[in-house]
Amino acid sequence: MDTLEPVGDNISGMARCPYDPKHANVALFTGGMLFTATVTDFLAIDAVIYRSLGDSPTLRTVKHDSKWFKEPYFVHAVEWRSHVYFFFREIAMEFNYLEKVVVSRVARVCKNDMGGSQRVLEKQWTSFLKARLNCSVPGDSHFYFNVIQAVTDILELDGRPVVLAMFSTPTNSIPGSAVCAFDMTQVAAVFEGRFREQKSPESIWTPVPEDMVPKPRPGCCASPGMRYNSSSAFPDEILNFVKTHPLMDEAVPALGNAPWILRTMTRYQLRKIVVDNAAGPWGNHTVVFLGSSTGTVLKFLILPNATSSPATTAPGSQSVFLEEFETYQPGRCGRDTEDEQRLLGLELDKAAGSLLLAFPPCVARVPVARCQQHSGCMKNCLGSRDPYCGWTPEGSCIFLEPSPRVAFEQDIAGGSTSHLGECEGERGAGARGRGGATRSSPDVSPTPGLVTESFVDEPDGLVSVNLLVISSVAAFVIGAVISGFSVCWFIGHRDRKELARRKDKETILAHSESVVSVSRLGERRARGALLAPLMPNGWPKELGKVTQHDLDSGVLPTPEQTPLQQKRCPGALQNCTWEQSHNIINAALRDPGGSGPAGAGRGHGG
């Protein structure tokens, strides 16, 4: 390419690219036709898989149908045989009873699809089907990596067509990333299986019985020689079934039923993936490069015969972690901020033996291997298990070009290097390795001089599980003690208040009885003259000024103020006792008119 001059006429970008660069956009050009997966409006509501250009009619997916798409985010598209496959993630309608659950999907359409009839699916896909991708850690309860981030093109691994996909967990889950491999023959087989349907909006999704599926099979590609040589000739029964049953019942299993690469509890999530399936001097090794959201690159070696492993393997057992290195350089690229460190793209330049990384302010190029860091130590060079590096008889670790003409030695299988002896300056080399931007594989058996630290050993802000458990238990115990003291104080305070309330009540009751006694005494004030002999000094002045309602016990005479009652006898009686005088007084009170002999005698005596 010598110039950047445009070729051909300008075409509309509608349904070919989004209005916002933040929206998803996937495109594949094959057979003179452009297949795109994007959104068609400003609000990113109308998601579409669209075919344009070429001699075939333009086709799209059904508009605003949640059974076809529910807020999808498209990741990649590949061509395989007579179909185009699209990888994306979306909200699963089959799990609508669990609110919003994001799952990863693969959908396919026939390249020769001509659309439906004028009655059903006109100018729309008649071969659109989708299935779930299963990338999970097996066990009693599977741990799913549901958010697909990136997918490779179809690779030839051990003679099988395979795609490697990068998955991560949702942001509100345990942070982790995984790489799963999918065989395209198994992907195609799932689309030949059972369909899944929802009979009513309130019912759950169930498989469709085979006797309910019309013939020919919905979603198949029409071709010459068949009963229907064009999709527009399909009966309405088949077209209606495809329109209402786009989801397959079974999920696409990962090779080995487990991730090939697994990383959890890391300080970042992995977002990009590139694969060199012809690594090493003879092109017989597979190396995977994973790019994180902050520009950190992790390198893994895929073990031989990984695709032909048993039915179920241990997660991560099909790979070996080689090294980790940083790629973003603030001095050359820009400021050291999170936005400018965000990795936008990762590509492999096989010819130059380097990686190309795109950041918002710049594009960086880094080598695929750093063999020079092992120079001077044969044990370090061989123990790195890096297919790009080899030890020469001259005593140096060099980067191996394809089909090298120099003698070299490698240990990719990971044999023991203990017979090689010790390296000079091991500690210094180890310190440089730990302080630099590169860390070697932790999967190699630890030997002196090897840098065996992984990024997992330096969580940078993450807390260990033991510390988290101890902190939780300590917080619970402290909270229980504080709660116990609080409850005891509250109960004691309540008891003290209840005791004080009872004492106050008893005091009030005693005071009320005194007032009642005084009130009764005030009713007899009119008869005070009769009691004058008992009070020779008269009533207190304060008591004479108050009324019955205002009577207060404070103005009443106290026992100290009340004089003793004198023993007086009427004149008619001589040598009488006090009891006799008291009886005479009581009789006078009952008979104020002075009737009776006692009254007459007292009046005569006066």
pLDDT of amino acid 431: 36
pLDDT of amino acid 5: 83
Pairing of strands 143-144, 438-440: unpaired
Cα–Cα distance measured from residue 386 to residue 400, given in angstroms and rounded to the nearest whole number: 10
**Stretch among 76-90, 155-169, 215-229 having the lowest mean pLDDT:** 215-229
pLDDT band with cut points at 50, 70 and 90 for residue 9: confident
Which of the two residues, 420 and 165, has the higher pLDDT score?
165
Helices then strands, counting H and E runs in the chain, come out as 9, 27
Beta strands in 60-203 (DSSP E): 73-80, 83-91, 102-110, 129-134, 136-137, 143-144, 147-151, 155-157, 160-168, 176-183, 196-198
pLDDT of amino acid 148: 98
Is the separation of the CB atoms in 579 and 587 below 8 Å? no
pLDDT of amino acid 99: 76
When pLDDT is averaged across residues 315-341 and rounded to a whole number, the result is 89
Is the separation of the CB atoms in 570 and 596 below 8 Å? no
Peptide bond preceding 216: is omega within 30 degrees of 0, i.e. cis?
yes
Cα–Cα distance measured from residue 407 to residue 392, given in angstroms and rounded to the nearest whole number: 6
Domain boundaries of the chain, sorted by first residue: 1-259, 267-368, 369-419
- Output the pTM of the full model: 0.71
Give percent of the chain with pLDDT exceeding 90.
51
Give percent of the chain with pLDDT exceeding 70.
76
How many CB atoms sit inside 10 A of residue 578's CB? Answer: 12
Instruction: Kindly tell me the burial class for residue 322, based on how many C-beta atoms sit within 10 Å of its own C-beta (0-12, 13-18, 19 or more).
Output: buried
- Architecture of the domain made up of 1-259: 7 Propeller (2.130)
Rounded to the nearest angstrom, the gap between the alpha carbon of residue 587 and the centroid of all alpha carbons in its chain is 99
pLDDT for 537 beyond 80: no
When pLDDT is averaged across residues 400-418 and rounded to a whole number, the result is 85
pLDDT digits (tens, 9 = 90+) for 261-295: 999 888 888 999 999 999 999 999 999 999 998 89
pLDDT of amino acid 435: 33
Pairing of strands 160-168, 155-157: antiparallel
pLDDT of amino acid 515: 46
pLDDT of amino acid 445: 38
**φ, ψ dihedrals at 317, nearest 5°:** -80, -10
When pLDDT is averaged across residues 52-56 and rounded to a whole number, the result is 92
pLDDT for 564 beyond 90: no
Could you tell me the end-to-end alpha-carbon distance of the chain, in angstroms, rounded to an integer? 153
Which residues is 290 bridged to in the sheet?
Answer: 273, 298
pLDDT of amino acid 343: 93
Instruction: Return the residue matching tokens 């005088």.
Output: 581
When pLDDT is averaged across residues 387-391 and rounded to a whole number, the result is 95
When pLDDT is averaged across residues 557-576 and rounded to a whole number, the result is 53
Cα–Cα distance measured from residue 368 to residue 389, given in angstroms and rounded to the nearest whole number: 10
Fold of 369-419: ligand-binding face of the semaphorins, domain 2 (3.30.1680)
pLDDT for 531 beyond 60: no
